[in-house]
Structure 1
Amino acid sequence: MTTNETATPKSSFLQDLPQRLPDEGMIAGVSAGIARRLNVSTSSVRLALLLSLLFAGAGVPVYLAAWLLMREPNETRSMGESLLSTDAGESRTMAIVLAAATVITAVGCALPVGAGLLGMVALVGGYLYLDGRK
């Protein structure tokens, strides 16, 4: 298998994610992008993320990871993809900060009692289930 063959699945996975809609969102447009993709209200996505805070703050790392991996409509790559490039700049710096925050909060949520890990799995699993029903 060549390098190009292994890069294709990763690239197509990231391109298939919903797009962030910062102009329609309160922070980064993650909830608005997910809501549009699932054809549900933005409020329901925000409520799910808010309720996930009861699971040891599970919504925080999930939101940060989505912010890192979802592209804006006018972008050719996400901030996460920019981490893999040789380009420098503000988006790469922001990507490093988001990646570090995602890892730190995910570990912090998952370690104490496991409820955070359960919450993260429930959020991501719920999204995948709803997205697969289309």
Structure 2
Amino acid sequence: MNPLTYTLVVNGSVYGDQSPRTAYQFAVSLINQGHQLVSVFFYQNGVTNGCSLTVPANDEFDLVKAWQVLAQKHNIRLETCVAAALRRGVVSQDEANQHNLMQNNLAQGFEQAGLGSLAEAMLTQDRVVQF
């Protein structure tokens, strides 16, 4: 079997929705099977997966940290849709500067991108899977 390249699209909120955790488990599984996960695009409420201010309870899985570790270990781009993120209060340092905000809260390892990045992934990856 030839390895395939993937991009995942995550629409669900970091907590309160099962889809981000399922996407993470799928990501781990496809990497373990020898495929390449190129990027994860967080869209709609999924942008909350990139918030640095998320603090899960001690007995809960830290999904933001899990995405960060997976991305660093396997060179995966973690992209939050900039427009959706701004609407939901997830702001990078660049966006904070541009909009004269005093703080930012985009988690380390995540970047903000436009829908053009998702469109490019759809054209260049073997598979794009939405959660």
Give the TM-score normalised by structure 2.
0.32
- The structure that is strand-richer by fraction is 2
Q: Which has the higher contact order (CA 8 A, sep 6+)?
A: 2
Which has the larger Rg? 1
Give the TM-score normalised by structure 1.
0.32
